[in-house]
């Protein structure tokens, strides 16, 4: 195997038009009229997209596998069948008002590498696999990155399967109902060995677009914590209940929310705090609110800052003791990526004469969990106007193809040794 010519062959076989077609075909599942996608985890649209991906991967000569949390793996055998695979991939589920690229690009880039391998016939020692991780977004079933998390920590599986969405439907029920759709896809255990994992993803922020750079060599991912704050009151008649007789849940929740924003404003430039969902019950125009539930998403690169913010959320909730309670529904620690993988990505971008920069990820990714399982790294491509988690999410096809070539070169290098 001549690594230099192999890399030239495989990167030359990456087909920009085929990649663009695949991104469009995947976006058709859960397509929104505004050009975005609504393909939330474990919905019929999500399962239909996974069936499409299984059939496509097989048409590229790959074998398909799945595991008990619904993760998919598309495997191109290597010369050494016993060697742990080099894996790429991302997630296919989306936000309700998602774009066509968040997660989906990493899946499409991996599949395009499989197609380029089939076209070029480049041999590689280790098997190469493309993973489609279940429920990365976490917006329907918290926590996020559920599939990658169960893969790297199988003891979490039962708790995840019992997790319900706001309608009471559980992950386990959805997977069981869809099971016949994948009866021809063999099951394999969680946590199988992985030699290295490289995820390709859009940046989802403005840094690379502002710098005019094509490739992001990702240093790591900041920490993320999710909370649910529930405030209870007493439903009462809006017209006949005097102010002094009210226990208005929304009034108390508004004081807590005001405290959340004050904590955000008091934090340093890197702190991110978001009240993404707030529901008021019973939600009738002439009933004093009985219950408010709000989510808080907190992000920062330093664990100590996340701890301090959590302490503040506890204080804000305690100020309404007996009526307000705080539950932490997810905690992802700040995570750094493997130096060797970062070097591999950086060298691949240099050899392809692509502009590159070191960057930290504001978004969490499945790679955050894989980093506990094996040497892991990420390749970013720029997001136009830094926009994501928005139907207008966009990246130039030439940048998507450039990221795919860097991925192809990185995977081949890692699969040769």
Nearer to ligand HGY, 140 or 405 (CB): 140
Q: How far is the CB of 95 from ligand HGY (least distance, A)?
A: 8
Beta strands in 204-323 (DSSP E): 215-221, 223-232, 236-237, 272-274, 278-281, 287-288, 291-300
Q: How far is the CB of 265 from ligand HGY (least distance, A)?
A: 22
Nearer to Mn ion, 248 or 366 (CB): 366
Q: Is 144 in the site for ligand HGY (CB under 6 A)?
A: yes
Q: Round to whole Å and give the CA distance between 133 and 261.
A: 33
Contact region for Mn ion (CB under 5 A) — 19-27, 99-107, 162-170, 330-338? 99-107
Q: Of residues 344-403, which lie at the interface with Mn ion (CB under 5 A)?
A: 365-366
Beta bridge partners of 226: 297, 330
Q: Tell me if 356 sits within 8 A of 346, measured CB to CB.
A: yes
Dihedral through CA 174, CA 72, CA 200, CA 94, nearest 10?
Answer: -10
Q: How far is the CB of 324 from Mn ion (least distance, A)?
A: 29
Q: Is 100 in the site for Mn ion (CB under 5 A)?
A: no
Angle separating helix axes 104-120 and 44-59, nearest 10 degrees: 10
When binding is defined by CB under 5 A, the residue of 67, 112, 136, 174 that contacts Mn ion is: 136
Q: Tell me if 190 sits within 8 A of 67, measured CB to CB.
A: yes
Contact region for ligand HGY (CB under 6 A) — 42-50, 136-144, 168-176, 392-400? 136-144
Greatest Cα-to-Cα distance within the chain, rounded to the nearest angstrom: 83
H or E stretch covering 210: helix 207-211
Q: Is 46 in the site for Mn ion (CB under 5 A)?
A: no
Q: Is 102 in the site for Mn ion (CB under 5 A)?
A: yes
Q: Is 137 in the site for ligand HGY (CB under 6 A)?
A: yes
Nearer to Mn ion, 19 or 146 (CB): 146
DSSP string computed for 21-53: HHHHHHHTTTB-TTS-B---TTSHHHHHHHHHH
When binding is defined by CB under 6 A, the residue of 14, 101, 122, 363 that contacts ligand HGY is: 363
Which of the choices Mn ion, ligand HGY, none does residue 227 contact, using the CB cut-off of 5 to 8 A by kind? none
The two tokens of residue 300 are 């920062």
Q: Is 93 in the site for Mn ion (CB under 5 A)?
A: no
Q: Is 205 in the site for ligand HGY (CB under 6 A)?
A: no
The two tokens of residue 266 are 């008091």
Q: Is 399 in the site for ligand HGY (CB under 6 A)?
A: no
Kindly report the backbone phi and psi dihedral angles of residue 231, in degrees, each rounded to the nearest multiple of 5, phi listed first: -120, 125
Q: How far is the CB of 80 from ligand HGY (least distance, A)?
A: 35
Footprint of ligand HGY on this chain (CB under 6 A)?
A: 102, 136-137, 144, 363-364
By CB under 5 A, name the binding residues for Mn ion: 102-103, 136, 365-366
């Amino acid at each position: 195997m001549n690594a230099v010519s192999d890399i030239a062959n495989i990167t030359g076989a990456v087909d920009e038009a085929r990649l663009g077609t695949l991104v469009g075909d995947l976006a058709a599942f859960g397509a929104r009229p505004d050009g975005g996608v609504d393909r939330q985890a474990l919905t019929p649209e999500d399962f239909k997209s996974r069936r499409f991906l299984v059939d496509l991967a097989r048409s590229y000569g790959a074998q398909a596998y799945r595991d008990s949390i619904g993760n998919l793996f598309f495997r191109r055998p290597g010369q050494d069948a016993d060697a742990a695979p080099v894996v790429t991939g991302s997630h296919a589920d989306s936000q309700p008002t998602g774009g066509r690229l968040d997660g989906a690009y990493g899946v499409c880039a991996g599949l395009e590498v499989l197609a380029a391998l089939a076209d070029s016939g480049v041999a590689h020692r280790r098997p190469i696999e493309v993973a489609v991780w279940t429920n990365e977004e976490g917006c329907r079933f918290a926590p996020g990155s559920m599939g990658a998390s169960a893969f790297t920590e199988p003891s979490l599986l039962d708790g995840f399967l019992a997790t319900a969405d706001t309608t009471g439907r559980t992950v386990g029920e959805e997977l069981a109902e869809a099971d016949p759709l994948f009866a021809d896809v063999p099951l394999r255990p969680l946590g199988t060995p992985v030699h290295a994992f490289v995820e390709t993803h859009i940046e989802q922020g403005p840094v690379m677009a502002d710098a005019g750079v094509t490739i992001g060599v990702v240093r790591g991912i900041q920490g993320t914590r999710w909370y649910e704050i529930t405030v209870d009151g007493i439903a009462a008649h809006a017209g006949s209940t005097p102010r002094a007789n009210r226990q208005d849940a929304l009034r108390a929740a508004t004081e807590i929310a005001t405290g959340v924003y004050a904590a955000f404003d008091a934090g340093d430039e890197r702190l991110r705090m978001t009240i993404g969902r707030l529901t008021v019950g019973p939600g009738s125009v002439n009933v004093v609110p009985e219950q408010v539930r709000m989510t808080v998403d907190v992000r920062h690169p330093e664990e100590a800052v996340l701890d301090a913010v959590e302490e503040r959320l506890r204080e804000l909730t305690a100020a309404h003791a007996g009526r307000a309670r705080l539950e932490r529904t997810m905690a992802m620690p700040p995570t750094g990526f493997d130096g060797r993988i970062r070097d591999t990505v950086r060298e691949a971008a240099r050899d392809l004469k692509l502009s590159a920069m070191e960057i930290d990820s504001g978004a969490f990714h499945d790679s955050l969990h894989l980093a506990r399982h094996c040497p892991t790294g990420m390749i970013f491509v720029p997001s136009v106007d830094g926009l994501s988690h928005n139907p207008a999410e966009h990246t130039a096809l030439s940048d998507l193809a450039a990221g795919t070539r860097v991925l192809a070169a990185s995977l081949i290098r890692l699969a040769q040794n």
